Amino acid sequence: EVPVGPFSADLVAKDVSSDRQVVIENQLQPTDHTHLGQLLTYGAGTGASVFVWVSPEFTSIPRRAMGVVSLPPSARCAPGRLR
């Protein structure tokens, strides 16, 4: 975990090929609004431009919410799926 203000992000990394900050939210259960909020909070707090949300199942409402969130033009939101 990485401190982000009073919170703790699961993982924060840097893409060495582009020098972009990456924030990774790891969720062991199906997606929910709490973890989406955490991902966005950690991303904003670290200045990330790549957001990765790892979960075994992406439920419909958080998936749709990711599509309507206003992120900086350079940001990418990349959900991952564990198998």
pLDDT tens, position by position, 30-83: 988 899 899 989 999 999 988 888 888 888 888 788 777 766 556 555 555 544
Largest Cα span, the chain: 33
Interatomic CA distance for residues 25 and 40, integer angstroms: 9
Neighbours of 8 (CB within 10 A): 11
Interatomic CA distance for residues 47 and 68, integer angstroms: 20
pLDDT tens digits for 17-42? 989 999 999 999 998 889 989 998 99
Interatomic CA distance for residues 30 and 42, integer angstroms: 19
Q: Which pTM was predicted?
A: 0.77
Please say if the pLDDT value at position 7 is more than 90.
Answer: yes
